[in-house]
């Protein structure tokens, strides 16, 4: 069988339209999230949010998954408001700047220590805002990664052993919009029969047909995948399969314990690091073993090129700069209340991440832009006139 | 290539065999058409080829099916992936990925084909089916014809020897169907692929078939040359029926063959005229003024002006996505116009709710089962009576007039396509709406069910119901419509009496009109009627 000619692998230029490696976007976003986790300074946090939003604005594709950032923004807003409301309902007493006083509610004695209402201090509100904003920023970073990296392309980059997990996530992703569509169809049909389409009984009635439809589609998809060869595998001995499972479980356990250790749950942080390394090693072997099991190949998997490396590098500057920033700048005191200090070197290092826009290629279009069609038809109309 | 040996198959919850003692041999490189009534076992026959039946459906199989010597008794469907490609009526249900190129590669990835080979085959197949420009497109943004071609392409990349297609064009408009069928024919000619194809709309596919397999539950399954099969079969495209009616021999199978006889028939019918189907209008029932509708920034309907009187049967035709279904949704108040005015029976459909809605307008959606909610025919009818406040038994009486021999206890899902449609129509008719809308009613209907639908619609028209059908089916439009409206890109392109519109359009003219032009005949029944008159 002749092999493909070399010319299809033409060298990538920085400007060529293609999808950046999904892993690169995720790493970039995780680095930004790590920055956010290390500071409570609202100016730094807002900078990170703006960086993510700018990059998403210029580098998201036109596919449906690119719209997920909106949902994350709503969630982020909700987190901030919720966190502030929480202190207003159960305020801490510290601080010196009184904002306003709420009527105090006495709780039964078994709620001892919990206080509802009372004096609301600006310090506590500011403290809550900082914490809420930090969590919100991390959410926006995750949303950014989801909007920038195609879930299907991500599937190509994960180890072969995790293929099934990834595939089920992907199928679920395509099922969700379909469910919404089905629900609308059923509601329409109820309307056409002159029945109520709002209220709980009507909702209950949509539930069963939608579920039925989903089941039916799942079966159809399963049979379609089967007839296209899904699940053809090289057989592996039972012993090796068991070994893989043990390694995998041990590895995951190690990683979890390691994480806990690194976060300082144990007194000696060396244990955390060691278990982490052990866990990663075990998982690696497990994935290698399981990978030998699969006889699949990958069509045009994303490759690491210079742009990928550059994009990740942009996010490293901020993280490094923050290591050398004074704690008072990173975590401004809420009491006494003062305007957060800024270190310009740190701030500009955070903003270096926005250069991801220039280093990453534009994603190709996956749908025909409707506006073009109408531009074209308008031109025809004008000519006719 | 494909061998059925003494195949008997029975689904586990039924007590009759759906296929009995089938012996067939399909040689390599043929395009074989499978015909039969709905529910006759066509899909079962197709499913047996790669073992999806009984592996995914359950049931008892005796005998053996083998493809290229590989038996479905020994191998699961996935081991046929490099031998048999299966494409279904709605390819959306079987897409696994979200981009055209990835979908094409999916099957090869599963088979572990080397990346360089995959790359080359994807390019080849993209060219073969004319999909090169769509390679980066998201599957969700494709048109019906493109989607079907992508589905075919995605099974071709594994280099199968057999292609199995279950009603590949039934959801498509005539030009998209032609685009898909042309692609299939090229595969047979260029690659020597064996194609097994089931289709109800015989007028679209008969000319491509080398052989026809007739599936009938009451008789033996057999395969023969198209000419032999259609000489006697009840299921036949209009051109064959025209040949029978006019007594032509040998029986023509294609419009091209039939035109050789057309001169003779035209002179015979020189003094006759087609029946004119006009009902006397008494009032305007639907009036639409400068209607516009946008989906986001896509303009789905533009400047629609329309007046429809009672007793008219209007066929809305046009490409997939030209705005037919959208217009129907507007008329029933499911969608609110962006601008413009709609009056149905003097009222704005948006202001109607509940009983007042179903008493003014009824819509049978594309999937008639959407409308059905109960677990048996009789419960469905009772629910419908109470919804519409009709005398108990009304819906069931209507249903019995529309169809024959259906047990009142059967589950609506187990009915044949034609029976489902009848039940949905009965539900709609129970409230006696003056305006009835049908969206693509003949999808999945065989000729017998279609004939039944045609006569029901004609009767309703005579009772001065107004009927609007959105349809791709030219033959249906030719049979029942009094008026045809062609939509393109959300605008009305043509609006006129059925004879004028259908006979002048190359894409939307029925077979009889193609044979008889320049004389203005549309349907076999019109010709038969005129010939009867002459006698």
Specify the pLDDT at position A9. Answer: 43
A217 close to B (CB below 8 A)? yes
In whole angstroms, what is the distance from residue A107 CA to residue A90 CA? 11
Chain A: residue nearest B385 by CA? A193
Q: Flag if B116 and A3 touch (Cβ within 8 Å).
A: yes
Place of tokens 């629609």: B304
Helix (H, G, I), strand (E, B) or coil at A201: helix
Residue A192 has its nearest CB partner, among B332, B355, B388, at B332
Residue A194 has its nearest CB partner, among B96, B119, B357, at B357
Are the C-beta atoms of residues B490 and B299 closer than 8 Å to each other? yes
In whole angstroms, what is the distance from residue B162 CA to residue B5 CA? 18
Q: Name the E strands within B95-198.
A: 162-166, 194-198
- Report which of A94, A91, A22, A112 is spatially closest to residue A59, judged by C-alpha positions: A22
Q: Flag if B52 and A367 touch (Cβ within 8 Å).
A: no
Specify the pLDDT at position A15. Answer: 64
In whole angstroms, what is the distance from residue B438 CA to residue B208 CA? 31
Low-confidence ranges of chain B (pLDDT < 50): none
For chain A positions 238-267, those within 8 Å of chain B (CB to CB) are none
Chain B: residue nearest A153 by CA? B102
Please report, for residues B198, B416, B473, the alpha-carbon distance to residue B443 in angstroms, rounded to integers and kept in the order given.
14, 12, 9
The verdict on whether omega for the bond into residue B54 sits within 30 degrees of 0, i.e. cis, is: yes
A150 CA to chain B: closest CA distance, Å? 10
A294 CA to chain B: closest CA distance, Å? 9
Within 10 angstroms of residue A328's Cβ, the number of other Cβ atoms is 12
The pLDDT tens digits for B223-251 are 999 988 988 887 889 999 999 999 898 88
Q: How far apart are the first and last CA of chain A?
A: 57
Hey, what domains does chain B have and what are their CATH numbers? 2-233 (3.40.50.300), 374-431 (no CATH)
B491 close to A (CB below 8 A)? no
Specify the pLDDT at position A194. Answer: 87
Q: Flag if A220 and B94 touch (Cβ within 8 Å).
A: yes
Specify the pLDDT at position B97. Answer: 85
User: How many Å separate Cα B438 from the centre of its chain?
Assistant: 14
Q: Which residues of A touch B439 (CB under 8 A)?
A: none
Q: Flag if B119 and A299 touch (Cβ within 8 Å).
A: yes
For chain A positions 355-384, those within 8 Å of chain B (CB to CB) are 364-368, 370-371, 374, 377
Q: Which two tokens stand for residue A361?
A: 């290629």
Q: Flag if B78 and A227 touch (Cβ within 8 Å).
A: yes
- Report which of B90, B41, B422, B445 is spatially closest to residue B235, judged by C-alpha positions: B445
Specify the pLDDT at position A114. Answer: 66
What is the total residue count of chain A?
A: 385
User: How many Å separate Cα A115 from the centre of its chain?
Assistant: 36
Q: Flag if B115 and A299 touch (Cβ within 8 Å).
A: yes
Q: Which residues of A touch B428 (CB under 8 A)?
A: 192
B137 close to A (CB below 8 A)? yes
Residue A377 has its nearest CB partner, among B76, B105, B489, at B489
For chain B positions 325-384, those within 8 Å of chain A (CB to CB) are 332, 334, 353-355, 357-358, 362-363, 365, 367, 370-371, 373, 384
Q: Which residues of A touch B108 (CB under 8 A)?
A: 297, 299
Q: Give every CB contact of residue A106 below 8 A, 6+ residues apart in sequence.
A: none
Specify the pLDDT at position B486. Answer: 94
Specify the pLDDT at position A376. Answer: 39
Q: Give every CB contact of residue B282 below 8 A, 6+ residues apart in sequence.
A: B309, B310, B311, B464
B59 CA to chain A: closest CA distance, Å? 16
Q: Flag if A221 and B93 touch (Cβ within 8 Å).
A: yes
The residue of B52, B326, B373, B493 whose CB has the most chain A CBs within 10 angstroms, and thus the best one to mutate to test that interface, is B373
Chain A: residue nearest B294 by CA? A370
Q: Name the E strands within B47-127.
A: 60-67, 70-71, 84-87
A224 close to B (CB below 8 A)? yes
Residue A299 has its nearest CB partner, among B77, B88, B108, at B108
Specify the pLDDT at position A112. Answer: 63
Q: Flag if A192 and B387 touch (Cβ within 8 Å).
A: no
Low-confidence ranges of chain A (pLDDT < 50): 1-11, 369-385
Angle subtended at Cα A155 by Cα A153 and Cα A157, rounded to the nearest 5 degrees: 80
Q: Which long-range contacts does B508-513 make (Cβ < 8 Å, 24+ apart)?
A: B508/B174, B508/B317, B508/B474, B508/B477, B508/B484, B509/B474, B510/B238, B510/B474, B510/B475, B510/B477, B510/B478, B511/B203, B511/B237, B511/B238, B511/B239, B511/B242, B511/B255, B511/B258, B511/B475, B512/B238, B512/B239, B512/B242, B512/B478, B513/B478
- B523 — phi, psi (to 5°)? -130, 160
B275 close to A (CB below 8 A)? no
Q: Give every CB contact of residue A112 below 8 A, 6+ residues apart in sequence.
A: none
Q: Flag if B82 and A229 touch (Cβ within 8 Å).
A: yes
């Amino acid at each position: 069988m002749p092999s493909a000619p070399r010319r299809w692998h033409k060298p990538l230029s920085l400007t060529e339209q293609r999808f950046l490696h999904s892993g690169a976007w995720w790493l970039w976003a995780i680095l930004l999230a790590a920055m956010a986790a290390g500071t409570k300074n609202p100016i730094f946090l807002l900078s990170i949010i703006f960086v993510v939003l700018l990059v998403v604005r210029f580098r998201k594709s036109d596919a449906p998954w690119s719209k997920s950032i909106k949902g994350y923004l709503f969630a982020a807003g909700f987190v901030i408001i919720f966190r502030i409301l929480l202190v207003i309902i159960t305020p801490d007493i510290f601080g010196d700047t009184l904002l306003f006083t709420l009527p105090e509610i006495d709780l039964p004695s078994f709620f001892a220590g919990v206080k509802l209402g009372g004096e609301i201090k600006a310090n506590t509100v500011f403290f809550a805002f900082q914490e809420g904003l930090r969590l919100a920023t991390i959410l926006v970073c995750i949303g950014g990664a989801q909007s920038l990296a195609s879930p299907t392309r991500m599937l190509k980059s994960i180890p072969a052993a995790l293929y099934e997990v990834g595939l089920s996530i992907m199928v679920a992703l395509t099922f969700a919009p379909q469910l919404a569509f089905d629900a609308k169809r059923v509601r329409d049909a109820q309307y056409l029969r002159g029945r109520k389409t709002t209220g709980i009984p009507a909702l209950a009635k949509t539930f069963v047909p939608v579920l039925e439809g989903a089941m039916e589609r799942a079966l159809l998809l399963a049979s379609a995948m089967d007839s296209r060869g899904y699940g053809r595998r090289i057989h592996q001995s039972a012993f090796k399969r068991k070994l893989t499972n043990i390694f995998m479980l041990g590895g995951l356990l190690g990683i979890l314990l390691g994480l806990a250790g690194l976060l300082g749950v144990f007194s000696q942080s060396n244990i955390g690091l060691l278990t982490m390394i052990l866990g990663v090693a075990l998982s690696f072997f497990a994935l290698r073993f399981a990978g030998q099991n699969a006889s699949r190949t990958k069509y045009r998997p994303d490759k690491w090129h210079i742009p990928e490396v550059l994009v990740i590098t942009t996010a490293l500057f901020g993280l490094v700069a923050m290591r050398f920033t004074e704690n008072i700048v990173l975590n401004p005191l809420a009491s006494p209340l003062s305007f957060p200090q800024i270190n310009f070197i740190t701030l500009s290092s955070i903003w270096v991440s926005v250069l991801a826009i220039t280093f990453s290629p534009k994603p190709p279009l996956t749908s025909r832009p409707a506006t073009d069609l109408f531009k074209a038809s308008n031109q025809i109309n004008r000519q006719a006139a | 290539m494909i061998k059925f040996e003494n195949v008997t198959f029975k689904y586990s919850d039924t007590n009759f065999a759906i296929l009995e003692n089938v012996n067939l041999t399909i040689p390599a490189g043929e395009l074989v058409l499978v015909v039969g009534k709905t529910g006759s076992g066509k899909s079962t026959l197709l499913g047996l080829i790669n073992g999806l039946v009984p592996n995914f459906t359950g049931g008892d199989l005796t005998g053996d099916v083998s493809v290229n010597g590989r038996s479905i008794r020994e191998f699961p469907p996935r081991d046929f992936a490099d031998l048999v490609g299966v494409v279904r009526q709605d390819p959306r249900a079987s897409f696994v990925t979200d981009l055209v190129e990835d979908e094409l590669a999916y099957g090869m990835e599963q088979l572990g084909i080397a990346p360089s080979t995959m790359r080359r085959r994807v390019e080849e197949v993209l060219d073969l089916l004319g999909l090169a420009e769509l390679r980066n497109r998201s599957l969700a943004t494709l048109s019906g014809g493109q989607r079907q071609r992508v589905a075919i392409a995605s099974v071709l990349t594994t280099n199968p020897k057999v292609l199995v297609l279950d009603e590949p064009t039934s959801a498509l408009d005539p030009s998209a169907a032609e685009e898909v069928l042309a692609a299939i024919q090229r595969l047979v000619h260029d690659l020597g692929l064996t194609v097994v194809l089931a289709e109800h709309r015989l007028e679209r596919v008969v000319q491509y078939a080398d052989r026809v397999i007739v599936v009938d539950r009451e008789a033996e399954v057999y395969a023969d040359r198209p000419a032999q099969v259609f000489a006697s079969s009840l299921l036949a495209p209009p051109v064959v029926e025209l040949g029978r009616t006019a007594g032509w021999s040998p029986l023509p199978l294609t419009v091209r063959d039939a035109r050789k006889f057309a001169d003779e028939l035209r002179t015979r019918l020189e003094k006759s005229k087609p029946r004119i189907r006009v009902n006397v209008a008494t009032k305007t029932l639907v009036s639409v003024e400068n209607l516009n509708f946008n989906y986001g920034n896509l303009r789905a309907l533009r400047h629609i002006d329309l007046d429809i009187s009672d007793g008219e049967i209007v066929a809305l035709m046009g490409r997939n996505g030209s705005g037919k279904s959208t217009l129907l949704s507007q008329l029933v108040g499911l969608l609110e116009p962006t601008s413009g005015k709609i009056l149905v029976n003097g009222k704005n459909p948006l202001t109607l709710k509940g009983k007042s809605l179903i008493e003014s307008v009824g819509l049978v959606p594309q999937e008639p089962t959407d409308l059905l909610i109960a677990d048996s025919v009789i419960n469905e009818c009772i629910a419908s009576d109470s919804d519409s406040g009709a005398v108990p038994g009304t819906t069931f009486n209507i249903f019995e007039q529309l169809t024959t021999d259906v047990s009142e206890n059967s589950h609506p899902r187990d009915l044949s396509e034609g029976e489902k449609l009848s039940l949905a129509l009965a539900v709609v008719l129970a409230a006696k709406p003056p305006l009835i809308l049908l969206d693509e009613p003949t999808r999945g209907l065989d000729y017998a069910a279609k004939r039944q639908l045609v006569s029901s619609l004609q009767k309703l028209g005579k009772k001065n119901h107004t009927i609007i059908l959105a349809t791709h089916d030219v033959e249906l439009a030719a049979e029942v419509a009094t008026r045809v409206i062609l939509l393109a890109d959300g605008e009305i392109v043509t609006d006129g009496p059925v004879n004028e519109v259908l006979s002048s359009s190359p894409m939307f003219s029925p077979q009889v009109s193609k044979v008889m032009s320049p004389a203005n005949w549309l349907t076999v029944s019109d010709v038969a009627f005129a010939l009867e008159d002459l006698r």
